[in-house]
A = this chain, B = another copy of it.
């Protein structure tokens, strides 16, 4: 019984790690699609919303079943509740990657991101990847210090968003309205993605500390 319960908890952690990996992959692909006008890749990102959302629901059902059948207390209870919230964060991150992909599909054959702004979007995608990679590593290592670094690392995303919005307003030639709207939203999607990574980091740090 106890053995089976530990196996349940391990499986739950494994699924959370898998959802983290899928979410990272989706945003990396979305970044490539939006900075290279790759319609096929953007369509793939849009389709990949479903496996991420499905795994999120599997994780939620799994958490509820552990709560109902095992009635965990103390560290295990906190782990499951934090897992429920992390699953929700990761699902939202998947949705944000999906939104970036949707913009590429909607604007095709026009390009969503003008050449001059591509390096900034690429850099935002790079920071997103670094943040969620650290989320995955801190999750496995249960490393509170590493998890808390994510909040600092997020400053790089805020700076890039600031750069992007400044580039939009201060360019020598004003972009058309659609481009301004798309870039405003794309910037916001990366910023929110990073915010969720920070939230994941805080939950991992909390768990690492209370179960140490």
Contact = CB atoms under 8 A, between A and B. Distances in A.
Interface of A: 64, 67-68, 71, 73-74, 77-78, 81, 84-85, 88, 165, 168-169, 174-175, 177-178, 180-181, 184-185, 188
Contact of A168 (B64, B88, B181): B181
Nearest to A177: B169
A67 B88 contact: no
A89 to B, nearest CB: 10
A1 B178 CA distance: 61
A194 to B, nearest CB: 15
28 contacts: A64-B78, A64-B81, A67-B67, A67-B81, A68-B73, A68-B77, A71-B71, A71-B73, A81-B84, A84-B84, A84-B85, A85-B88, A88-B88, A165-B181, A168-B181, A169-B178, A169-B181, A174-B177, A175-B177, A177-B180, A180-B180, A180-B181, A180-B184, A181-B184, A184-B184, A184-B185, A185-B188, A188-B188
B168 A177 contact: yes
A195 to B, nearest CB: 10
Contacts of A71: 71, 73
Contacts of A81: 64, 67, 84
